[in-house]
Structure 1
């Protein structure tokens, strides 16, 4: 057995980085729920996946458009369209639950994530008359909201509905939203088709209110339309009423970290060979964040750092790139670095 000892626990350091990121973006994180939800990476990942990275996107509209709305909301809709087309930031028009009110570690189960997004993968944006004010995180709220499904290079406008619950009961669990998505974009919906399922056995039709109640209890309901059964288009909820896709994403980051640990502590790899050649037999590794917000590995004894790439043309699945872009995307890194500098 080798006497060489390598000190490395990237998952512990990932939690520390996630805590810094939570602080930097001022995310609610109160830790009043069961201890297994006191997970800063889970909280950070919920925000990462719900945030809409600014990028130029093609807009595709459903057959629900044009929707009869107020003149104010028409101005707001045009603004959102321009932001998507030009690659602007639409996040100020999201629900405030993006950063506050929703919290994976919170005591109230139905407040741990955006149920509509977690269940069906649908975002909603407010359509106020005025643009977001300078220095403000969010725009004015509005009486009309736009429901969308976001992809890397496209955004599907599903519908616009009134925000008043008396006008639109069960607004965020209306099955009509999913029906509209499937009807207009059947090829995209096919990815969620549960092949082999012939239908759902129900004694009575499932109502929008039923969807809301089951969603708030962490129960996922397949969706039936046109003789096909579809899995939850947003991957659904866990029994803890957090988003399933967030848990999967969080676990993936932890997996990347374990694989990187193996690479850096492998006696046959370049890193250990280089350290040994410099007289470092017992290296101490830690995650390092660079000034541009990118990540890497630092070894304390030699005081040397290896920067992870954002993109590797020779290896699309480069694990260092995957780790870097998953835990600290390019849009988030600079914000966290600036916060770290001010509070370190």
Structure 2
């Protein structure tokens, strides 16, 4: 058998380009790594529409005029509906880095009740709901004024109400800081892409609940996932090349014969990864992402 034409990572990047285009974005980077970062960053900023149990902190309070909007959001979350209309309009910028989310893992949702004229987002509210999402739970932390993204009390509320949910981010063998950072300090340091810690008091300190950000401002979690997926696709490609004889035999048993110079392309079905030979259409399952 001759050379094998295959580039699974490159095919995956093309798939992500199409996904971004399908989402309505036109400012798609030309660099492959930047495409992956952009896509993963966007997915991180969205909230997976699955039913979740809503838990409210003991300190939780919402202004009376936004109670109905809050009830709408709570119902949407409980029913697993799409929350995109309640999120920041900065979703329109696919490359925006949300430091509030990347630092503390907290989303903010607006509490408007009607869609704006373009039908994309709910009418913006002054106060916003701060919420942390896990697979089965939505933690309603507090309603704050829009822009209070460095309010350390939010982390303190998480600690007081659901310490088990963030215990992996609590710093060990650290009892305090020589100089405790103010909210304004954190706000200023974030602008320079500097990660900070939150000193709750009584020897309790937390690192980056949201994973933190790199010197360029992008989420550390995004960079790590991008590297992981690149490695996975490269390994899958190696597996195809190393096992080409077995793939050929499996095809032959079905009456499908690989050409002398196979041309494989990536095929995605949900989170399942396949390769398809473009000439004979032989398909082989690789693994699930």
TM-score, normalised by the number of residues in structure 1: 0.75
- Partner in structure 2 of residue 107 of structure 1: none
- Equivalent of 1:46 in 41, 44, 49: 41
What secondary structure sits across from 2:279 in the alignment? coil
Instruction: State the number of aligned residues.
Output: 285
1:136 and 2:119 equivalent?
yes
- In structure 1, the gaps of 5 or more residues are 104-111, 164-169, 309-319, 323-344
Between the aligned partners of 2:245 and 2:162, the Cα distance in structure 1 is: 48
- Partner in structure 1 of residue 217 of structure 2: 241
8 Å CA contact 2:6, 2:237 repeated in 1: yes
The change in CA–CA distance for 1:269 and 1:61 in structure 2 (over 3 A counts) is: farther
Q: Which has the higher mean CA deviation after the structures are superposed, 272-281 or 73-82? A: 272-281
- Partner in structure 1 of residue 72 of structure 2: 79
8 Å CA contact 2:41, 2:97 repeated in 1: yes
- Write the deviation string for residues 266-309 of structure 1: whole angstroms up to 9, x where unpaired: 2377324435782534321111245x79653211232223356x
1:10 and 2:8 equivalent?
yes
1:101 and 2:93 equivalent?
yes
> Following superposition of structure 1 onto structure 2, how do residues 168-179 of structure 1 map, counting pairs within 5 Å?
171-179=148-156
- Write the deviation string for residues 141-200 of structure 1: whole angstroms up to 9, x where unpaired: 11221000001111000000122xxxxxx5111111111111111111211112122332
- Equivalent of 2:132 in 149, 165, 173: 149
Note the aligned Cα RMSD (angstroms). Answer: 2.5
Between the aligned partners of 1:158 and 1:261, the Cα distance in structure 2 is: 44
The change in CA–CA distance for 1:194 and 1:44 in structure 2 (over 3 A counts) is: same
8 Å CA contact 2:247, 2:284 repeated in 1: no
The change in CA–CA distance for 1:282 and 1:68 in structure 2 (over 3 A counts) is: closer
- Equivalent of 1:125 in 91, 99, 109: 109
- Partner in structure 1 of residue 63 of structure 2: 69
What secondary structure sits across from 1:141 in the alignment? coil
> Following superposition of structure 1 onto structure 2, how do residues 242-281 of structure 1 map, counting pairs within 5 Å?
242-267=218-243, 270-274=246-250, 278-281=257-260
8 Å CA contact 1:222, 1:229 repeated in 2: yes
The change in CA–CA distance for 1:172 and 1:259 in structure 2 (over 3 A counts) is: same
Between the aligned partners of 1:246 and 1:295, the Cα distance in structure 2 is: 20
- Partner in structure 1 of residue 288 of structure 2: 321
- Partner in structure 1 of residue 265 of structure 2: 286
Between the aligned partners of 1:135 and 1:68, the Cα distance in structure 2 is: 27
8 Å CA contact 1:5, 1:283 repeated in 2: yes
What secondary structure sits across from 2:262 in the alignment? coil
